[in-house]
Amino acid sequence: TVKVFINGKQYEVPANSTVLEACNLAGVYVPTLCNHPRLEPTGACRVCVVEVEGSRNLQPACATKVADGMRIITRSERVERAVKFNLSLLLSRHPKDCMTCEVNGRCEFQDLIYRYNIKDIFGGEQPLSKVYDDSSPAIIRDLEKCIVCGRCVRACSELQGMDIYSMVDRGFESLPQTAFEMPVYDTDCIACGQCSVFCPVGAITENSQVRKVLEELEKHDKVLIVQTAPATRVALGEEFGLEPGSISTGKMVAALRRLGFDYVFDTNFAADLTIMEEGSEFLERLKNGGPFPMFTSCCPAWINMMEKLYPQFIPNVSSAKSPHQMLGAVVKTYFAKKINVDPKNIFLVSIMPCTAKKDDIIRPQHMINGVPAVDVVLTTRELAKLIKIKKIPFATLPDENYDDPLGESTGAGAIFGVTGGVMEAALRTAYELGLGKPLGKIEFESVRGLEGIKEATIDFNGKKLKVAVAHGGLNVRRLLDKIVAGEVYYDFVEIMACSGGCIGGGGQPKSLDKDVLVKRMKAIYTIDELSVIRKSHENPSIKKLYQEFLEHPLSHVAHETLHTTYMD
Distance CA 23, CA 64 (A): 12
Helix (H) or strand (E) segment spanning residue 166 = strand 165-170
Distance CA 457, CA 513 (A): 34
Q: Cβ closer to ligand SF4: 359 or 494?
A: 359
Distance CA 264, CA 381 (A): 18
Distance CA 45, CA 43 (A): 6
Verify binding: residue 194, ligand SF4, rule CB under 6 A. yes
Q: Which of ligand HC0, ligand SF4, none does residue 160 bind to, with CB < 5 to 8 Å depending on kind?
A: ligand SF4
List 417, 506, 509, 553, residue binding ligand HC0 (CB under 6 A)? 417
Verify binding: residue 139, ligand SF4, rule CB under 6 A. yes
Verify binding: residue 190, ligand SF4, rule CB under 6 A. yes
Distance CA 384, CA 239 (A): 6
Distance CA 252, CA 384 (A): 10
Q: Cβ closer to ligand HC0: 148 or 495?
A: 495
Pick from 52, 57, 65: which is nearest to 19 by CA? Answer: 65
Q: Cβ closer to ligand SF4: 417 or 507?
A: 507
List 72, 231, 303, 447, residue binding ligand HC0 (CB under 6 A)? 231
Q: Cβ closer to ligand HC0: 144 or 266?
A: 266
Q: Which of ligand SF4, ligand HC0, none does residue 245 bind to, with CB < 5 to 8 Å depending on kind?
A: none
List 352, 433, 470, 545, residue binding ligand HC0 (CB under 6 A)? 352
Q: Cβ closer to ligand HC0: 91 or 415?
A: 415
DSSP string, 390-450: TT--GGGPPP-PPPSSS----HHHHGGGSTTHHHHHHHHHHHHHHHSS--S----GGG-SS
Q: Cβ closer to ligand HC0: 46 or 357?
A: 357
Residues 6+ apart with CB under 8 A from 437: none
Q: Which of ligand SF4, ligand HC0, none does residue 190 bind to, with CB < 5 to 8 Å depending on kind?
A: ligand SF4
Distance CA 282, CA 275 (A): 10
User: Per CB under 6 A, which region of 319-327, 432-440, 468-476, 552-560 contacts ligand HC0?
Assistant: 319-327
Give the other-Cβ count within 10 Å of 2's Cβ. Answer: 17
Min CB(506)–ligand SF4 separation in Å: 6
Q: Cβ closer to ligand SF4: 39 or 225?
A: 39
Estimate the share of the chain in helix, then strand, then coil, as percent rounded to the nearest 5. 45, 15, 40
Q: Binding mask 288-307 vs ligand HC0 (x if CB under 6 A, - otherwise)?
A: ----------xx--------
Q: Binding mask 446-465 vs ligand SF4 (x if CB under 6 A, - otherwise)?
A: --------------------
Min CB(377)–ligand SF4 separation in Å: 14
Site for ligand HC0 in 470-529 (CB under 6 A): 501-502, 505
Give all strands of the β-sheet with 204-206 in edge-to-edge order. Answer: 132-133, 139-142, 204-206
Tell whether the torsion through CA atoms of 303, 306, 311 and 315 is positive or negative: negative
- Residue at shortest CB range from ligand HC0: 502
Distance CA 178, CA 193 (A): 15
Site for ligand HC0 in 256-285 (CB under 6 A): 267, 271, 274
List 6, 23, 156, 254, residue binding ligand SF4 (CB under 6 A)? 156
Min CB(427)–ligand SF4 separation in Å: 29
Which backbone phi and psi does 177 adopt, to 5 degrees? -115, 155
Contact 197, 472 (CB under 8 A): no
Q: Cβ closer to ligand HC0: 47 or 426?
A: 426
Site for ligand HC0 in 387-416 (CB under 6 A): 416
Binding site residues, ligand SF4, CB under 6 A: 139, 155-156, 160, 162, 164, 184, 189-195
